[in-house]
């Protein structure tokens, strides 16, 4: 067994008319961001990425946005005197782009109630563990160290406690004897790329149904 995905998977889940408008937050390599772009371009997910915001000027996600032709903004937290002023700038940018669902695709900043209350039940996060196990940073390292035989990834809605909101999708990935940080990260990452578009579709459907019937 390579992996096991726990999620509803109906064709209609991915259909949005008009297309769902997504805002992405990323801090790192950007492989989950890229997977989302691919899902929208393959028409697997009827959505468009209105804006990518990164907090690290030199992160891989920026280069991917440039090569994929996705609008992006660098909003570096180091340029703001407080967390709330940084978040307010992010909220302003997403509101201007008329974003419906925010996706934290490798966003390595704790978010406050300011952002969460601006997009209640509309912020989706991906985390490299089967939550509630191994919250926070270094989830893969934590799993390897603990000796568990299964880990994986979770897509969930963001609430005010770190890595704790309602689960939308989980994928189990077995840990083999020979696995190390690199091999396990690669296997989990591969499953993240499949599960994130599904989680985004679930959140998007709930939002559209609650607001537009």
* Residues at the site binding ligand GAR, with contacts judged by CB under 6 A: 26, 28-32, 105-106, 126-128, 139, 163, 189, 192
Cβ density class 114-137: b for 16+ within 10 Å, e for less:
ebbebbebbbbbbbbbbbebbeee
Name the β-bridge partners of 156: 125, 167
- Strand, coil or helix: what is 48? strand
C-beta closer to ligand GAR: residue 99 or 158: 158
Given the residues 9, 10, 77, 127, select the one marked as catalytic.
127
Smallest gap from residue 28 Cβ to ligand GAR (A): 4
Smallest gap from residue 153 Cβ to ligand GAR (A): 6
Smallest gap from residue 120 Cβ to ligand GAR (A): 20
C-beta closer to ligand GAR: residue 117 or 141: 141
Which residue's CB atom is positioned nearest to ligand GAR? 106
- Strand, coil or helix: what is 182? helix
127 is catalytic: yes
Crossing angle between the packed helical segments 181-212 and 139-146, to the nearest 10 degrees = 120
Smallest gap from residue 68 Cβ to ligand GAR (A): 14
The beta strands (E) that lie in the chain are given as: 4-6, 20-26, 47-54, 72-74, 101-104, 123-127, 150-157, 167-174
Determine the straight-line distance between the first and last CA of the chain, rounded to whole angstroms. 40
C-beta closer to ligand GAR: residue 21 or 189: 189
User: Where does residue 29 rank: exposed (0-12), middle (13-18), buried (19+ CB within 10 A)?
Assistant: middle
C-beta closer to ligand GAR: residue 47 or 52: 52
Catalytic residues: 127
């Amino acid at each position: 067994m390579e992996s096991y995905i726990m999620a509803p998977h109906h064709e209609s889940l991915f259909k949005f008319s008009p297309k769902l408008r997504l805002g992405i937050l990323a801090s790192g390599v950007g492989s989950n961001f890229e997977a989302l772009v691919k899902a929208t371009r393959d028409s697997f997910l009827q959505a468009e990425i209105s804006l990518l915001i990164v907090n690290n000027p030199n992160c891989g996600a920026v280069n991917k946005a440039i090569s994929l032709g996705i609008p992006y903004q660098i909003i570096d937290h180091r340029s703001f005197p407080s967390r709330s002023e940084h978040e307010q700038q992010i909220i302003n940018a997403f509101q201007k782009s008329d974003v419906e669902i925010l996706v934290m695709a490798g966003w390595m900043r704790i978010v406050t109630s300011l952002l969460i209350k601006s997009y209640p039940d509309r912020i989706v996060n991906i985390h490299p563990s089967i939550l509630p196990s191994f919250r926070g940073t270094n989830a893969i390292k934590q799993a390897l160290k603990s000796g568990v035989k299964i880990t994986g990834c979770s897509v969930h809605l963001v609430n005010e406690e770190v890595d704790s909101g309602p689960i939308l999708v989980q994928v189990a990935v077995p840990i083999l004897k020979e696995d190390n940080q690199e091999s396990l990260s690669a296997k989990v990452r591969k499953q993240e790329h499949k599960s994130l578009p599904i989680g985004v579709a679930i959140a998007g459907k709930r939002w559209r149904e609650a607001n537009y019937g």
